[in-house]
Amino acid sequence: MEVIIRPDADAAARLAARIIAHDLRANPKLVLGLATGRTMEAVYGRLVRLHHDERLDFSLCQTFNLDEYVGLRAEDPHSYRHYMDEHLFNEVNIDPRNTHLPDGCALDLAEECEAYEALIRRCGGIDLQLLGIGRAGHIGFNEPLSALMSRTRVKALSPRTLAQNAPLFDVATKMPRRAITMGVGTILESRRCLLLATGAEKAEIIAKAVEGPISSMISATALQLHAHCTVIVDEAAAESLAERDYYRWIFDNEPEWTGYRHL
């Protein structure tokens, strides 16, 4: 795992966007895993700017989102499809047919989950998976007790997640209690993972995810098993990391890591 500490949330999001842009330029047919949430808005904002200012080209890439609420139609302003259209897809030259999210309104949800997995496989697997982290440590919607080898499936949302995301709904009670999410095993199969967390409210959980024991209670800890996982945090989210001075030293001194400074 690489842990990169940037001075503030803006610099952290900028680096995440630059890494995505770098990989997309190296491989225009990149299969990109995407995440939603407040943290990601800054990353997508940056990618849109890179598209306009530096002609970053999305025309050949494929995207797969981590999750979608069960029961929300694409046009529902609270759906993750709507979030993605608004923050990224409508703003860049991506082919809408190449943008994939699970369909939370599918008649047969189990079949939809299997079809999603099959589509990822058909596209050659995910090259780069962008991840946020919930305050209880979930990646995607892999709530406590998510098997470390789990695949795309329906998960019941935990009370903490419901409390965290309900304010995003105009009527809190409208928030679905279930979601389709890629499994932890699905995420771990991505060739590279990129987790971004900013703000003091993420400090405790980042320390557990990065430095704590691996546990299905905190699905983000499974990223410790991944051979190529980069964690980008701002100073506020890095506050509880025991080894933060070590991570800073590596970033400033190790040739492989100093490469990020030019992005």
**Distance (Å, whole) CA 143 – CA 79:** 19
Place of tokens 């993750």: 80
Does residue 35 belong to the site contacting ligand GLP (CB under 6 A)?
yes
Counting contacts by CB under 6 A, is residue 183 touching ligand GLP? no
Question: Does 126 help bind ligand GLP (rule: CB under 6 A)?
Answer: no
Binds ligand GLP (CB under 6 A): choice among 1, 18, 25, 37: 37
Contact flag: residue 140 with ligand GLP (CB under 6 A): yes
CA torsion sign for 223, 126, 158, 4 is positive
Cβ atoms of 235 and 7 within 8 Å: the answer is: yes
Candidates 3, 34, 42, 66; binder of ligand GLP (CB under 6 A) is 66
Residue 15 interacting with ligand GLP (CB under 6 A): no
Quick one: which of 29, 38, 121, 228 contacts ligand GLP (CB under 6 A)? Answer: 38
Contact between 88 and 56 under an 8 Å Cβ cutoff? The reply is: no
User: Does the protein bind ligand GLP through residue 219 (CB under 6 A)?
Assistant: no
Calculated CA dihedral for residues 125, 2, 147, 205, nearest 10 degrees? -130
At 73, which amino acid appears?
R
Residues 160-179 that bind ligand GLP (CB under 6 A): 161, 165
Residues at the contact surface with ligand GLP, assessed by CB under 6 A? 35-39, 66-67, 132-134, 140-141, 161, 165
